[in-house]
Amino acid sequence: MSETKKVEFEYSQIDSERMRLNVGPQHPSTHGVLRLEVELDGEIVTEVIPHIGYLHRCFEKHCEKMTYPQVIPYIDRMDYISAMNNEWPYVMGMEKLMEIEVPEKVEYIRVIMAELNRIANHQIAVATFGLDAGAFTPFLYLFRDREFILSIFEKASGGRLLYNYFWVGGLAADVHKEFKEDVLKIVKQVRETNKEIADLLLYNKIFIERVANVGILPADVAVNFGCSGPVVRGSGLAFDLRKDAPYSIYDRFDFDVVTGRGEVGTVGDCFDRNIVRFHEMEQSCRIIEQAIEQMPMDGDVREKLPKKVRPPKGEIYTKAENPKGELGFYIVSNGTDKPERIKSRGTSFVNLSVLPEISKGYLFADLIMILGSVDIVLGEVDR
Amino acid sequence: MEHQILTFYDWVAKLSSSELIALILVVTLPLVFLIVYALVAILGELKISAFIQERLGPMRTGPWGIIQPVAEVVKLLQKEDITPDAANKPLFNMAPFLMFTAAYAGFAVIPFSSNFVPAGINLGLFYIFAMGSLAVIGLVMGGWASNNKYSLLGALRSVAQIISYEIPAAIVILSIVILASSMNLQVINANQGGWFWNWYVFGGPGSIWKLLVIPFTLGMFLLYLVASLAETNRTPFDIPEGESEIVAGYHTEYSGMKFAMFFFAEYANMFVVSALLSILFFGGWNSPFGDFMNGPIWGVFWFISKSFVFVFVQIWLRWTLPRLRVDQLMGVSWKVMTPIAFICFFAVGLWVMLK
């Protein structure tokens, strides 16, 4: 009888190598021209290195050659799906530098426009998140509703994507006569569709299986990386500039800060980040309804527009709660009509930095979901 | 069980007094059907998805856009046929045709009517299953030969998926074989003659006691429906070509006619599994209402409409559900479906033994 030899088997003895996969810059799910260098062990992600810069447009350098009002269209092109919100912190900073007090009506229109744009942004975020999971139909339902919101913007500013609507000291144009009725109609429509989306997509068993307990981002890690917006709120931290550092007239409205509760898994997973956006749409609807009620219809939105935008020497940092998180502008003025320096704190750029941290050890399919749940726009990452 | 009926083959042979013509006709008729079916199914996919998504779908090519599938095929024919430099050319070129061959080979034993089946072999069920498995080789070939990492991932995923789902599917089919005590698809069909309660989804022909076995046969039907979705790589099991993850999976590098072949094979496969569902569980070419509208010609109508219902179900599910992850897919197959399939197999076996 021959003695059987005991074979010690270890996983590491298998002659295997890891695969380096370039996801992007041309890939259906990178939400733009992001390149992720991914190291895969079979299907398991061991390393993610985001490479950015494919959409770099020298925004900050361009600003130094532009007059202050000319900067606004460039800002639109940063986070191009929530352009209204982008303009706000810049305009607000300029108004503080020049000590302009904007009329009530302008403030209300700004709030309504910003909240509508927040809804539009979250619709895209939820829709593309579903699309990453393979659900095509809810994507189109949400995009259909977004078109109604864009129509309001078109009536006000003339543009459907890039508005150049918030000007220093006022607005580019007044809203149309039936503005209030149109907005309320949209709010109703948004609520109806959201009910449908919750049934069709968000609480679908397969969808929950895909997103629960995936890409868990603990609150302390989120804070250390400087995340903001739904990413940090998804981790259970109620950080919202509209409540914590109220700007404009946000202190007049009653709304809740939605945070992730770990409904179907762990707090801070992909489901939480996504559901925070979903519920924020409802909160935005509430703000819009209150603002519509309080808003005066008479008054001139252009009366405080300065003849020449020439702020005194000085510097200022203003920030606002964008749909994606905190967007800040640091403006240095040298007393001329052109800025000395403009630095923007891009939300998506900061939020993207957390991706390598939270996607290790998950499957490749999960990486796509995690990227979708962070909700970046490459226009803002690269600027 | 004797079936001394005049088959289509005999009829043509007698009419033209040439066996060759009959042979060619019998072999090409399913291909003609397949081409027409593919066009209809593509249009169906476009229009049903449009309906689900509150769109119109194609409207400009012909009235109500009905020429759109033809236009798409013509477009694909005109496209440049690209073979990547680093690809393994023979394998790369062979893969789509192997896929299509495997899908089309399944049609050889599909009985369209009581009098028309290209090859009425006794191992029909076994054969169709073997041919279904052959498609995996085409997938791996295409995925490996493309020399693309996405293709490789897609190919390997599809192998894992199809092999896992063949096990519950095979056990379900075995249970049907027990019920029918035959592997000949014509015999299985003939067994389910009469009214619709004689279909195997309702336990097959039998006394009132068959009510006991109906839960299991219904379960078998659902199991096979899910497994067939996985075999055709349709949502929610479309991870081999999950476009948001691995771009297009195994056919990332394919273009033009070779891509069309993959596409064609997918639709052919969809029909094969739908046909199998209708044959095994819903009486195939039998009329649901006894002798009403029954017969060789009506049989074609019943068979095709039953199969189209399942093609519709596949399209419907695709535009409704998100996709599963690769490990969840395996989990569903091995932890849920295989045990249930075994239970059904056991129950059906016991019932047939005691009957």
B45 touches chain A (CB under 8 A): no
Comparing CA positions, the residue from B38, B48, B11 lying closest to residue B26 is B11
Instruction: Please give the C-alpha separations between residue A246 and each of A252, A319, B43, in angstroms, as whole numbers.
Output: 10, 10, 54
B243 touches chain A (CB under 8 A): yes
Token pair for A233: 């709120």
CA–CA dist A50, B125 (Å, integer): 51
CA–CA dist B37, B29 (Å, integer): 12
B236 touches chain A (CB under 8 A): yes
Q: Which residues numbered 1-20 in A keep a CB inside 8 Å of some CB on B?
A: 19
Whose tokens are 């005691």? That residue is: B354
Residue B115 CB contacts under 8 Å (≥ 6 apart), including other chains = B5, B6, B7, B8, B11, B296, B299
Token pair for A186: 């949209």
Token pair for B193: 């003659």
Instruction: Please give the C-alpha separations between residue B107 and each of A157, A250, B43, B228, B268, in angstroms, as whole numbers.
Output: 60, 67, 22, 16, 9
| CB distance A241 to A340 below 8 Å | no
What's chain A's length in residues?
383
Determine the residue of chain B that is closest to A207 in CA distance.
B322
B195 touches chain A (CB under 8 A): no
Amino acid at A29: S
User: Model confidence at B319, in pLDDT bands (50, 70, 90)?
Assistant: confident
| CB distance A28 to B243 below 8 Å | yes
B149 touches chain A (CB under 8 A): yes
* Substitution target from A206, A210, A367 for chain B, most B beta carbons within 10 A: A206
- Give per-residue pLDDT as tens, B252-306: 888 888 888 888 888 888 888 898 888 888 888 888 887 777 777 788 888 888 8
Q: How far is A161 from chain B (nearest CA, A)?
A: 22
Q: Look at residue A122 in the predicted model and tell me its pLDDT.
A: 92
Determine the residue of chain B that is closest to A365 in CA distance.
B245
Comparing CA positions, the residue from A255, A114, A112 lying closest to residue A182 is A112
DSSP A102: P
Q: Tens of pLDDT along chain A (383 residues)? A: 455 556 565 666 666 778 888 887 888 877 778 888 888 887 888 889 988 888 888 888 888 888 888 888 888 888 888 888 988 999 988 888 888 888 888 889 889 999 999 999 999 999 988 888 888 888 888 988 899 999 989 988 888 888 888 888 888 888 888 888 889 999 999 999 998 888 888 888 888 888 888 888 888 898 999 888 899 988 888 888 888 888 888 888 888 888 888 888 888 888 888 999 999 999 999 999 999 888 888 878 787 777 888 888 888 999 888 888 888 899 998 888 888 888 888 888 898 889 888 888 888 888 888 988 888 888 888 88
pTM for this entry: 0.84
Q: Do A133 and B243 count as a contact with CB atoms less than 8 A apart?
A: no
Cis, bond preceding A89 (omega within 30 deg of 0): no
Amino acid at A305: L
Phi-psi region at A247: left, alpha or beta (left = phi > 0; alpha = psi -120 to 50): beta
Q: Is the pLDDT of residue B324 over 70?
A: yes
| CB distance A112 to A292 below 8 Å | yes
Classified as helix, coil or strand, B151 is helix
Comparing CA positions, the residue from B260, B257, B253 lying closest to residue B152 is B253
Does the ipTM exceed 0.90?
no
Structure-model confidence comparison of residues B341 and B62, the more confident one:
B341
Q: Do B322 and A201 count as a contact with CB atoms less than 8 A apart?
A: yes
Q: Do B322 and A130 count as a contact with CB atoms less than 8 A apart?
A: yes
Q: Do B326 and A206 count as a contact with CB atoms less than 8 A apart?
A: no
Q: Do B325 and A210 count as a contact with CB atoms less than 8 A apart?
A: yes
Instruction: Please give the C-alpha separations between residue B205 and each of B189, B198, B209, in angstroms, as whole numbers.
Output: 12, 4, 11
Nearest to A133 among B320, B322, B327 (CB): B322
- Give per-residue pLDDT as tens, B175-233: 888 888 888 888 888 888 777 777 887 777 777 777 778 888 888 889 898 888 888 87
Amino acid at A37: E
Q: How far is A306 from chain B (nearest CA, A)?
A: 47
Token pair for B46: 């476009």
Token pair for A294: 């309080």
A353 touches chain B (CB under 8 A): no
| CB distance A136 to B53 below 8 Å | yes
| CB distance A318 to A296 below 8 Å | no
B55 touches chain A (CB under 8 A): yes
Q: Do B52 and A137 count as a contact with CB atoms less than 8 A apart?
A: yes
Token pair for A107: 């403030």
Q: Do B53 and A141 count as a contact with CB atoms less than 8 A apart?
A: yes
H helical segments located in chain A: 59-64, 68-76, 83-98, 104-132, 137-157, 179-197, 205-211, 219-224, 230-234, 241-244, 270-294, 347-352, 355-358, 364-374, 378-382
Neighbouring-strand partners of residue A333: A314, A339
DSSP B323: P
Token pair for B326: 């690769």
Determine the residue of chain B that is closest to A39 in CA distance.
B149
Comparing CA positions, the residue from B310, B264, B302, B266 lying closest to residue B284 is B302
Q: Do A28 and B243 count as a contact with CB atoms less than 8 A apart?
A: yes
Q: Is the pLDDT of residue B342 over 70?
A: yes
CA–CA dist A212, A202 (Å, integer): 11
A291-328 b/e with 16+ CB inside 10 Å = b?
bbeebeeeeebeebbbeebebeeeebebbbbbbbbbbb
Q: Is the pLDDT of residue B1 over 50?
A: no
Q: How far is A202 from chain B (nearest CA, A)?
A: 10
Q: How far is B153 from chain A (nearest CA, A)?
A: 8
Q: Which residues numbered 355-374 in A keep a CB inside 8 Å of some CB on B?
A: 363-366, 368
CA–CA dist B206, B117 (Å, integer): 27
Q: Do B238 and A134 count as a contact with CB atoms less than 8 A apart?
A: yes
